[in-house]
A and B are shown apart, each in its own frame.
Chain A
Amino acid sequence: MSHAVPPVQTISEAWLKCIEAVVGGHTSGRMVHVVSTITEPGSEINGIRATLDTFLAKEGLPEIDTVAETIFPRSLISEPARRWSPSLSPIEEAPILERERELFAAYSDMLEMLLSADGNHSGTYFSRMITWPGKAVGGVNQIADRISSLRSQLRNGRSTYNAMDIDLAADALNESSTTVEQLRGLELYSVTDRRNRGFPCLTHIDLTLFESRLHMAAVYRHQYLVSKAYGNLVGLSWLLQFIADQAGVDAGEIVIHATMADGEFNVLGRQRVLTLVKSAREELDAQEQRTP
């Protein structure tokens, strides 16, 4: 049966409440159709992250940031950057456009080598986003296209209305079939893929601009709640923030729909996973006591 985790502010709470629901109620440690919502993407509770990172290191699994960078390679973007706005002059806009161009170029330079890593022969998440279908440079850059669509909406809104009317431009996005088509989500899954499991677990990212905030929904066909989920949430938050900054809008909420949420009992052992979840819960309780 489906399960909706109540919306929470932080990545850490979303991860913890999702895994608690899955491993607490089912002896299999799995559940179908679990939906989680983060209202402030990017925000975290340090104690929970540290607890999970310590567990991952002990198990020889990739740390949270390494998983996050498979979705958005934040190490490759220059900091800090000014947010794009339709009112910027070409000179002011140049470094923002350069930041984007550099990111795509740096990743493209690495792509051939990245594909030589185990598990990457079908492309990486980010390569599928910036050069669909992800195995070679020169494919469709879905992120650049989405940023460009968002910018032109803001530009049009500004040219037709005053600053207050940017919201109307957002409404117009939903009313114009042409624009909705341009703003469709990020495709990560090939229709010819007939495997039951395997890359990509993340199959679709949907972006919705509403009242000047950019919201994201991500669909996972198999979400590994211990080894991957937290890093996935961090990576999606970075991706949303980047697109929002480059397009001159605020980042909204992230909704994750895991069609299969997996507590990984079969690989990591039920007791070890339950102990991890208990430790993370103690961190959350301690945090809540500190901030009434």
Chain B
Amino acid sequence: MVDYFALRLKLANRPPTIGLHPDGSPAIKSLIGVWLISQVGGLVGKKRLVNLSQVDRLLLRSLAGVASLVRQALTSQQKAKRAS
């Protein structure tokens, strides 16, 4: 998913990533993190894929952090679907 996000940024002609995050993946501005999540949200038909008030903001500062938030949100969504 990190590679997908990197490609998505490149295709959208967004500013490049800003060095390397301590987690080893490319560092990004938090707003770019939110934008990437919104792109996945658009694909799965859920604009508010992540509730930002319940998110550790530091996770939005790297592609790996954003990927983990998205995975978590998609898993929760699938569980909720199965339960309903």
Contacts and interface: CB of A to CB of B under 8 A. Distances in A.
Interface string B21-55: 00000000111101101110110000111111100
B61 to A, nearest CB: 10
Given A66-B30, A112-B47, 4 more contacts: A75-B14, A75-B35, A78-B12, A110-B31
B70 to A, nearest CB: 12
A87 to B, nearest CB: 25
A284 interface: no
B14 A76 contact: yes
B30 A109 contact: no
Given A109-B35, A114-B52, A78 B13 contact: yes
22 contacts: A65-B29, A75-B14, A75-B35, A78-B14, A106-B12, A109-B35, A109-B47, A110-B31, A110-B38, A112-B47, A113-B34, A113-B37, A113-B41, A113-B48, A113-B52, A114-B52, A116-B50, A116-B52, A116-B53, A117-B52, A118-B52, A120-B52
Interface residues of B, number: 22
| Residue of B15, B31, B35, B49 with most partner-chain A CB within 10 A | B31
Contacts of A47: none
- B interface secondary structure, majority: helix
Interface residues on chain A, size class? 10 to 19
Contacts of B37: 113
Nearest to B61: A66
B34 A114 contact: yes
Interface string A75-93: 1101100000000000000
Contacts of B32: 75-76
A53 interface: no
A73 interface: yes
A22 to B, nearest CB: 29
A69 interface: yes
A102 B14 CA distance: 10
B49 to A, nearest CB: 7
A110 B35 contact: yes
